[in-house]
Amino acid sequence: SVEKVHARSVYDSRGNPTVEVEITTEGGLFRAIVPSGASTGVSEAVEVRDGDKSHWGGKGVLKAVANVNDVLGPVLVKSGLKVTDQEAVDDLLIKTDGTPNKAKLGANAILGISLAVARAGAHEKGVPLYVHLRDLFEGRHDANKPFVLPVPFMNVLNGGEHAGGLLPFQEFMIGAIGAPSFFEAVRWNSEVYHILKKLAVEKYGPSAGNVGDEGGVAPNLTTAEEALDLIVEAINKAGYEGKVKIAMDAASSQFCKESKYDLDFKKQEDSSPSEWLSGEKLAQKYHELVDQYPLAFLEDPFGENDWESWSKFLAGGVKVPVVADDLVCTNTKLIARAVKEKAADTLLLKVNQIGSLTESFAAAREAYDAGWGILVSHRSGETEDSFIADLVVALGTGEIKSGAPCRSERLAKYNQILRIEEELGSKAIFAAKDFHDSYKH
């Protein structure tokens, strides 16, 4: 059981405060740090921030820290619950908050405890975190079942809310789906990344090599085609034509205005509404991109409230998986709606969008039951905590996105999967081109 719960304010990769939680048991001390998004969905669980503009511009988390130290922590210690009983622990935390979106005590407070307790649970059982997480998810332990290692989709070119410049689309990722192992996939991606950086500087000047929030280069270009052409050239130069694919997160809620899409939203002057694209026109553009470029999937092609465009897009026979991030916010109810309305076929899973491990598992189950794929994801504000690396292996989703092969808060996750791959040896299968439905392995 839990002897002590302690939280403190530390910093994320953007230099903003975030919550770190420490759980002390007879077995030792176990930590977790909570990440934070920039292009957040409206239905995400609430991150409690202090709002006192005189400290950290209002972004302090001292209230959330106090909610752990003064409220949730004492309740958990008093409960005497076992750290291996993740569901009971998460239920207790959720009930203590009492709101549907964790607005009272904070998803950041609750998630920090939830993830640290999982680490304590793994230690108690004497197994690696990814084994414990899979046991929890599947409700049983199967020592003979192989683990699936994910294709790393690395965000090598940053736009949208994650970089300066005028590019409206947020993320351009590369995934080495033709690689024979995770180790090789990381090597291929990193080789492409370095060539891309050189090309960006040659074509767009020295500052084009500067990186955005997720470690990708951020040349000042304006269209998706320019970004895709540059990445295709880098892939081909590296010798991986047909073996490394590209994926896009449009994060289009950021430029969706009254069900229209303002691709000029980052320009200083306001654009005229007459130039905004309709959902249909934007869909047409995506269909063209899928035909012209080696795309692996499209994420958030339409705004979080524009359900109609999503459903129409799928009904129109799009040839790549369509990933729902802001649309469903790792929330089972919204996933169920998206399944019913055939709005997407892949869940973007971010633990802090829902705010506890047990609810993240429920979201994953909802998605798998519908035959969806699952892309496990970091946030743009990240830390050295590599929890999602173990999580993606536990869920066997076959795909993860954790930014570029640059900046250690991004590499922390890939490095942890490298360790897991080495530890598992022949008991690991690399998802490769089956990444979208590797759970069926």
Reported as type and span, the H/E element at residue 277 is strand 277-278
Q: Which of residues 41-80 bind Zn ion (CB under 5 A)?
A: none
Q: Is 438 annotated as a binding residue?
A: no
214 flagged as catalytic? yes
Give Rg (Cα) of the chain. 21
Distances, alpha carbon 419 to alpha carbons 133, 396, 414, in Å: 17, 16, 9
123 binds ligand PGA (CB under 6 A): no
Q: Which one of 12, 90, 135, 249 is in contact with Zn ion (CB under 5 A)?
A: 249
The amino acid that residue 137 corresponds to is: F
Q: Which one of 38, 77, 370, 418 is in contact with ligand PGA (CB under 6 A)?
A: 38
- The site partner of 385 among Zn ion, ligand PGA, none (C-beta below 5 to 8 Å per kind) is none
Tokens in use for 270? 């306001």
Q: Which residues of 299-313 are buried (b: 16+ CB within 10 A; e: fewer)?
A: bbbbbbebeebbbbb
**Tokens 């000029």 identify what position?**
264
The interface region with ligand PGA, picked from 38-46, 90-98, 193-201, 421-429 by CB under 6 A, is: 38-46
Nearer to ligand PGA, 123 or 410 (CB): 410
Taking the complex as a whole, the smallest distance from the CB of residue 24 to ligand PGA amounts, in Å, to 30
Q: Which of residues 314-333 bind Zn ion (CB under 5 A)?
A: 325
Residues 244-263 as x/- pattern, contact with ligand PGA by CB under 6 A: -----x-x------------
78 flagged as catalytic? no
State the residue number with the nearest CB to ligand PGA.
37
- The site partner of 379 among Zn ion, ligand PGA, none (C-beta below 5 to 8 Å per kind) is ligand PGA
323 binds ligand PGA (CB under 6 A): no
The separation between the first and the last C-alpha atoms of the chain, rounded to the nearest angstrom, is 36
Determine the 3-state secondary structure of 267 from DSSP: coil
- The site partner of 38 among Zn ion, ligand PGA, none (C-beta below 5 to 8 Å per kind) is ligand PGA
Catalytic-labelled residue, pool 350, 359, 366, 421: 350
Nearer to ligand PGA, 216 or 398 (CB): 216
The interface region with ligand PGA, picked from 37-45, 181-189, 255-263, 360-368 by CB under 6 A, is: 37-45
CA distance 399 to 127: 23
Q: Which residues contact 397 (CB under 8 A, 6 or more apart)?
A: 148, 150, 349, 364, 373, 374, 375, 376, 438, 439
DSSP state of 433: G
CA distance 33 to 21: 7
Please tell me the count of residues contacting Zn ion according to CB under 5 A: 4
CA distance 121 to 56: 34
Distances, alpha carbon 181 to alpha carbons 60, 152, 276, 294, in Å: 41, 11, 43, 21
Catalytic-labelled residue, pool 161, 214, 359, 382: 214
CA distance 419 to 409: 16
CA distance 272 to 25: 59
What one-character-per-residue DSSP string does 84-140 give? T-HHHHHHHHHHHH-STT-TTT-HHHHHHHHHHHHHHHHHHHTS-HHHHHHHHHHTS
Q: Which of residues 251-270 bind Zn ion (CB under 5 A)?
A: 251
Taking the complex as a whole, the smallest distance from the CB of residue 410 to Zn ion amounts, in Å, to 15
Q: Is 267 annotated as a binding residue?
A: no
Nearer to ligand PGA, 169 or 439 (CB): 169
- The site partner of 83 among ligand PGA, Zn ion, none (C-beta below 5 to 8 Å per kind) is none
The interface region with Zn ion, picked from 107-115, 266-274, 294-302, 394-402 by CB under 5 A, is: 294-302
Q: Is 141 annotated as a binding residue?
A: no
Q: Is 49 annotated as a binding residue?
A: no
Residues 364-383 as x/- pattern, contact with ligand PGA by CB under 6 A: -------------x-xx---
Residues of this chain that bind ligand PGA (CB under 6 A)? 37-40, 249, 251, 325, 377, 379-380
Binding site, annotated residues: 162, 171, 249, 299, 325, 377-380, 401
Binding site, annotated residues for substrate: 162, 171, 299, 325, 377-380, 401
Annotated catalytic residues are 214, 350
